[in-house]
């Protein structure tokens, strides 16, 4: 399966994920197709948030995978491999990035990329997948947002087309690795890059600051945090990193 088998480049769209979903419904996209946009008027983030990016300065795209036939329980694998493809690429251009669970990409305490995976499910199987990626490339001003870009971090490669090409290669590599080796190896690399893995740091849980150590993820992708001598599983709404 090749990521980037075809590329539709739009000047403006509401959201590349929405556009991909629309074309998928009409059966107009083959596996690996990319929707790329210069501007999104209603870019979507996780949990109903908006994704803001200055026009023409950042990479905004969605890539579609068709008929993947993965189990619904494995959806998190898609986030993991996408996040790893981004950190792999940033590493190659001299930017040391970390993954903030579940799938934000951070440089220090600033976000450089976000991922929104959406799926079509039939029974217990994932059929089609839309992986939406926003990567800050040339934007130099984020107002009050805790955000950064390749340009601000002094990365060595900065045209949006080059970044897209490299990222599509990286996604293909990580996808093939998952197909060949399965999800355990992917999890191993994910944990290796995870902010706070096996380190004592503070998290906010039910409004309280708690010290804990990330020990791993459970089979549903929940965060396993050791607090004192007890390890508990948390989902996204229950825990956040403290800075
Ligand atoms: C997040 O961190 O909240 C996820 C952000 C995902 C943003 C990308 S930009 C391209 C694609 N289209 C969207 O509407 N969202 C994703």
Q: Whose CA is nearest to atom 11 of ligand 1?
A: 132
Of 43-57, 116-130, 144-158, the range with the highest mean pLDDT is: 116-130
Which of 1-5, 93-97, 179-183, 226-230 is the least confident region? 1-5
Tokens of 222: 């929940």
Question: Tell me, what's the pLDDT at 182?
Answer: 93
Q: Whose CA is nearest to atom 15 of ligand 1?
A: 44
Q: Give the nearest ligand 1 atom to 18 CA.
A: 14
CA separation for the pair 52, 55 (Å, rounded): 9
Kindly tell me if the per-residue pLDDT of 1 is higher than 90.
no
Q: Give the nearest ligand 1 atom to 103 CA.
A: 2
Strand partners, 40: 13
Q: Assign 3-class secondary structure to the chain.
A: CCCCCEEEEEEEECCHHHHHHHHHHCCCCCCCEEEEEEEECCCECHHHCECCCCCCCCEEEEEEECCCCEEHHHHHHHHHHHHHHHHHHHHHCCCCCEEECCCEEEECCEEEEEEEEEEEEECCEEEEEEEEEEECCCCCCCCCCCECCCCCCCCCCCCHHHHHHHHHHHHHHHHHHHHHHCHHHHHHHHHHCECCECCEEEEEECCEEEEEEEEEECCCCCEEEEECCEEEEECHHHEEECC
Q: Whose CA is nearest to atom 2 of ligand 1?
A: 114
Task: Encode pLDDT of 21-59 as tens digits.
Answer: 999 999 999 999 999 999 999 999 998 899 999 999 999
Which of 44-48, 77-81, 221-225 is the least confident region? 44-48
Q: Give the nearest ligand 1 atom to 40 CA.
A: 14
229 pLDDT band (50/70/90 cuts)? very high
Residues with CB under 6 A from ligand 1: 15-17, 40, 43-46, 49, 51, 60-62, 104, 114-116, 132-134
Tokens of 35: 């929707």
Burial grade of 5 (CB within 10 A; 0-12, 13-18, 19 or more)? middle
Testing ligand 1's pocket by substitution, the residue of 7, 37, 44 carrying the most ligand atoms inside 8 A of its CB is 44
131 pLDDT band (50/70/90 cuts)? very high
Q: What percent of the chain has pLDDT over 70?
A: 99
How confident is the prediction for the chain on average, in pLDDT? 95
Kindly tell me if the per-residue pLDDT of 178 is higher than 80.
yes
Question: Tell me, what's the pLDDT at 157?
Answer: 65
Question: Tell me, what's the pLDDT at 48?
Answer: 86
Q: Are 221 and 210 in contact (CB under 8 A)?
A: no
Kindly tell me if the per-residue pLDDT of 4 is higher than 60.
yes
Question: Tell me, what's the pLDDT at 47?
Answer: 84
Tokens of 95: 């930017």
Question: Tell me, what's the pLDDT at 145?
Answer: 83
């Amino acid at each position: 399966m090749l990521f980037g088998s075809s590329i539709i480049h739009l000047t403006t769209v509401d959201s590349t994920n929405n556009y991909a979903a629309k074309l998928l419904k009409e059966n107009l996209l083959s596996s690996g197709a990319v929707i790329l946009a210069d501007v999104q008027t209603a870019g979507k983030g996780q949990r109903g948030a908006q994704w803001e990016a200055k026009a023409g300065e950042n990479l905004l795209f969605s890539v579609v995978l068709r008929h993947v036939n993965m189990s619904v329980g494995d959806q998190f694998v898609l986030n993991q491999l996408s996040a790893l493809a981004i950190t792999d690429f940033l590493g190659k251009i001299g930017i040391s990035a970390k993954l903030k669970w579940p799938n934000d990409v951070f440089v220090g305490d600033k976000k450089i990329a976000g991922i929104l995976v959406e799926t079509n499910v039939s029974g217990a199987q994932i059929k089609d997948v839309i992986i939406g990626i926003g990567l800050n490339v040339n934007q130099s001003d984020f107002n009050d947002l805790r955000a950064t870009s390749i340009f601000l971090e002094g990365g060595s490669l900065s045209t949006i087309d080059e970044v897209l090409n490299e990222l599509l290669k990286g996604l293909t590599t990580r996808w093939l690795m998952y197909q060949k080796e399965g999800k355990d190896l992917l999890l191993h690399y994910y944990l290796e890059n995870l902010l706070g893995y096996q380190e004592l740091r503070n998290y906010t849980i039910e409004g309280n600051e708690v010290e804990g150590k990330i020990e791993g993820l459970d089979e549903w992708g929940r965060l396993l945090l050791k607090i004192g001598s007890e390890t508990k599983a948390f989902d996204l709404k229950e825990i956040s990193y403290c800075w």
